[in-house]
């Protein structure tokens, strides 16, 4: 068996995709898989300008690490990379990158799906979609009222400043 390596992080800038490849490099595995979640141009027929992400950073960081550890154990992974970007993410750029390596592809593919589903459901990162017509909507994982999301995100940011 192999020693498992983890790399998780939250960044405020474009994700360095080239630099992440080395985090999974391991001559003892037969599978390496990557998922890049990127901002798409249209959603439900509306043109998207960008996505913006906010989080409770300390909690999100801990959740990402715990998620990587759970995935490694559940899917027998040799390596796990999870990086999420905060702030504005324009069309075509990655907001989240997940990588997994394992002895065989079935574990890698299953882990990628599970990590993304769990991350979207459980990690305290909130997404706001900005449309060309000026409309915005908060999405986590179901659209919520913008006022509720604005209020919640503002309260979280105020709490972080006072810690």
Burial class (CB in 10 A: 0-12, 13-18, 19+), 80: buried
User: Residue 12's closest CA among 83, 63, 87?
Assistant: 87
Determine which helix (DSSP H) or strand (DSSP E) holds 76, and give its type and residue range.
none
Question: Which pLDDT band holds residue 134 (cuts at 50, 70, 90)?
Answer: very high
Structure confidence at residue 152 as a pLDDT band (50, 70, 90): very low
Q: Which is more confident, 145 or 73? A: 73
Residue that wins the pLDDT comparison between 127 and 140: 127
Q: Give backbone dihedrals phi and psi of 54, rounded to 5 degrees, phi first.
A: -130, 160
Q: 105 pLDDT band (50/70/90 cuts)?
A: very high
So what's the pLDDT on residue 159? 41
In angstroms, the CA 125 to CA 130 distance is 16
Instruction: Tell me the per-residue pLDDT of 31-61, one tens digit each, with 9 for 90 and over.
Output: 999 999 999 999 989 999 999 999 999 999 9
Q: Where are the alpha helices (DSSP H) in 9-145?
A: 17-24, 57-75, 105-122
Distance CA 96, CA 76 (A): 22
Cβ proximity of 47 and 124 under 8 Å:
no
C-alpha 19, offset from chain centre: 17
Tens of pLDDT along 10-30?
A: 999 999 988 898 899 899 999
Mean pLDDT of the chain: 87
């Amino acid at each position: 068996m192999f020693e498992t390596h983890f790399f998780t992080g939250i960044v405020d800038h474009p994700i360095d995709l080239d630099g992440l490849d080395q985090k999974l490099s391991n001559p003892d595995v037969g599978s390496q898989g990557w998922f890049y979640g990127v901002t798409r141009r249209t959603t439900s027929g509306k043109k998207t300008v960008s996505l913006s992400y906010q989080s409770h950073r300390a909690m999100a960081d801990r959740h990402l690490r715990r998620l990587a550890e759970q995935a490694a154990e559940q899917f027998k992974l040799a390596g796990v990379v999870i990086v999420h970007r905060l702030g504005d993410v324009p069309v075509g750029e990655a907001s989240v990158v997940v990588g997994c390596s394992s002895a065989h592809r079935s574990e890698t593919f299953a882990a990628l799906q599970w990590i993304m589903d769990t991350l979207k459901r459980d990690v305290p990162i909130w997404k706001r979609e900005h449309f060309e017509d000026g409309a915005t909507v908060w999405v986590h994982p179901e659209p919520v009222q913008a006022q509720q999301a604005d209020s919640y995100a503002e309260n979280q940011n105020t709490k972080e400043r006072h810690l």
